[in-house]
Amino acid sequence: MSPVKVVRYRTKPEHAEENAELVRAVFAELAADDPAGLRYATYRLDDGVTFLHVATIEGEANPLLSSAAFGRFQQGIADRCEEGPIAMDATAVGSYTAPTGIHPQG
């Protein structure tokens, strides 16, 4: 089973949007580079300052570690945070993806 990494942290209010922009840059780079073996999502919670990252890494290498944008995101993370980051491994109990709703005509 592929390892799942979950990271949670709360930014200082004045750094929340900067943090979100750094995260968006990571996703823009991932979209351009299309690295294999990575499923990655970041969520900003309703309080506007708490972020949750969930990464599933298939294979030996973590593609995020070779991402320049991810490196920029990691620089200064402790200064942007009011709490955390707290990283944990997770084990999937279940997962569901809804069908697209597109059905072939026949």
Inside any domain, residue 16: yes
pLDDT in tens, 66-82: 999 999 999 999 999 99
**Is 95 inside a domain boundary?**
no
Does residue 63 belong to any structural domain of this protein?
yes
DSSP 64: G
CATH number of the domain at 11, please: 3.30.70.100
Range of the domain at 26: 4-90
pLDDT at 1: 63
How far apart are the C-alpha atoms of 66 and 95, rounded to whole Å? 28
Residue pLDDT, tens place only, 80-97: 999 999 999 999 888 888
Total domains in the chain come to: 1
Residue 58 domain-assigned? yes
DSSP letter at 59 equals: S
Q: What pLDDT sits at residue 34?
A: 93
Cβ atoms within 10 Å of 94's Cβ, excluding its own: 4
Whether 64 is covered by a domain: the verdict is yes
* pLDDT tens track for 14-60: 999 999 999 999 999 999 999 998 999 999 999 999 999 999 999 88
